Amino acid sequence: MKSATLHKIGFYIILFLTVIFPVFFLPITSEFYEFNKNFLLITTSGILLLLLTVGFVVDKQVKITRSPFGLPILAVLVTWLISTIARTPNPFDAILNPNQTGAIVALAIYYFTATNFIRTKRELDLLVAGLVGSFSLLAFSSILWGTGIMENIAPWAFAKASVWTPTGNPLMTLSMLIILLPFLGILIAKQKENSNRMLVLSIALFLFVAASGITTYRIFQSPSNRPIFLSQSVSWSIAMEALKISPLIGTGADTYLTDFTRFRPVSYNMTDSWNIRFNSASNYYLQILTTIGLLGLAAITFLFIRVVSMLIRSLRSSSDASAHTTALTASVTAVILMASFFVVPPGTVSLFLLFTLLIMVVSAFKLMGSPLVHDANIDIVAASDSGIRTPILPIISFALSLALVIIYGPTLAKAYYAEVAFQQGLVAVGKNDGKTAFERINTAIRLNPFKDGYRTAASQTYLLLANSAATKKDLTAEDRDTITKLVQQSIQEAKNAVSLNPTKATNLVMLANVYQNLVNFAQGADQWAVASYQQAINLDPTNPELYVSLGGIYYARGNYDEALRLFLLAADRKPNYANAFYNISAVYKQKKDYQNAYIAMQQVINIVDKTSADYIKAKGEMDELGKLIGSAAQVPAQPEKTELETAKPIPSPKVNPPIALPSELGPETPAATPTPSAAPSVSPAAPSPTTAP
Helices 256-263, 525-539: crossing angle, 10 deg rounding = 90
- Domain 451-665 belongs to what topology? 1.25.40
Amino acid at 688: S
Which long-range contacts does 377-383 make (Cβ < 8 Å, 24+ apart)?
377/61, 377/62, 377/63, 378/62, 378/63, 378/64, 379/61, 379/62
Q: Is the pLDDT of residue 667 over 80?
A: no
pLDDT range class, residue 686, cuts 50, 70, 90: very low
Lowest mean pLDDT across 285-289, 485-489, 658-662: 658-662
CB 304 within 8 A of CB 311: no
What pLDDT sits at residue 221?
Answer: 86
Tell which wins on pLDDT, 233 or 391: 233
N-terminal to C-terminal alpha carbon distance within the chain: 70
DSSP output for 560-574: HHHHHHHHHHHHHH-
CA proximity to 250, closest of 80, 78, 498: 80
Kindly tell me the burial class for residue 90, based on how many C-beta atoms sit within 10 Å of its own C-beta (0-12, 13-18, 19 or more): buried
Amino acid identity of residue 40, one-letter, is L
Share of the chain above pLDDT 90, in %: 70
**Phi, psi (rounded to 5 degrees) for 165:** -150, 150
What pLDDT, on the 0 to 100 scale, is given for residue 651? 43
> What pLDDT, in 10s, does the model give residues 87-130?
999 999 999 999 999 999 999 999 999 999 999 999 999 999 99
pLDDT reported for residue 646: 57
Q: What is the pLDDT of residue 458?
A: 92
Nearest C-alpha neighbor of 323 from the set 131, 179, 129, 122: 122
The CA-atom distances, in angstroms, between 242 and each of 245, 287, 344, 362, 494 are 5, 10, 21, 36, 27
How many other C-beta atoms are found inside a 10 Å radius of the C-beta of residue 646?
16
Instruction: Tally Cβ neighbours within 10 Å of residue 55.
Output: 26
Cβ-based neighbour number of residue 315 at 10 Å: 11
Confidence of residue 520 (pLDDT cuts 50, 70, 90): low
Please give the model's pTM, rounded to 2 decimal places: 0.89
Lowest mean pLDDT among 62-66, 189-193, 493-497: 189-193
Residue 691 has pLDDT above 80, yes or no: no
Integer CA distances (angstroms), 374 to 8, 64, 116, 495, 655, in order: 19, 8, 10, 54, 75
- Please state, in angstroms and as integers, the Cα–Cα distance from residue 225 to each residue in 175, 221, 279, following that order: 15, 8, 19
- pLDDT tens across 177-215, in order? 999 999 999 999 988 777 888 999 999 999 999 999 999
Query: Which of 419, 487, 422, 451 is closest to 658 using CA atoms?
Result: 487
Q: What is the mean pLDDT of residues 238-244?
A: 96
Give the model's pLDDT for residue 159.
Answer: 87
CA distance 510 to 462: 13
Question: What confidence score (pLDDT) does residue 181 get?
Answer: 96
| Opening angle at CA 358, ends 356 and 361, nearest 5 | 115
**Those residues with Cβ within 8 angstroms of residue 411's Cβ, 6 or more apart along the chain or in another chain:** none
Task: Write down the domain spans for the chain.
Answer: 4-378, 451-665
Q: How many residues are present in the chain?
A: 693
Mean pLDDT of the chain: 88
Bigger pLDDT: 635 vs 338: 338
Per-residue pLDDT band for 663 (boundaries 50, 70, 90) equals: low
Q: Where does 629-676 have alpha helices with state H?
A: none
How much helix, strand and coil, in percent to the nearest 5, is found in the chain? 65, 5, 30
What amino acid is encoded at 416 in this protein?
Y
Residues 6+ apart with CB under 8 A from 348: 34, 37, 38, 41, 98, 99, 103
The pLDDT, as a whole number, for residue 693 is 33
CB-CB contact of 22 with 131 (8 Å):
no
Alpha helices in 431-558 (DSSP H): 434-447, 452-469, 477-500, 505-517, 525-539, 544-556
CB of 87 within 8 A of CB of 148?
A: no
> Is residue 420 predicted with pLDDT exceeding 80?
yes
Sign of CA dihedral 146, 152, 156, 157: positive
Of 73, 309, 329, which Cα lies nearest the Cα of 187? 329
Which residues touch 432 (CB under 8 Å, ≥6 apart)? none
| Long-range contacts, stretch 307-314, CB < 8 angstroms, 24+ apart | 307/69, 307/331, 307/334, 307/335, 307/338, 307/358, 307/361, 308/335, 309/68, 310/68, 310/69, 310/361, 310/365, 310/372, 311/335, 313/365, 313/370, 313/372, 314/361
What pLDDT is stored for residue 157 in this prediction? 83
Give the sign of the dihedral formed by CA 90, CA 93, CA 94, CA 95: positive
**For the residues 610-622, what does the mean pLDDT come to?**
90
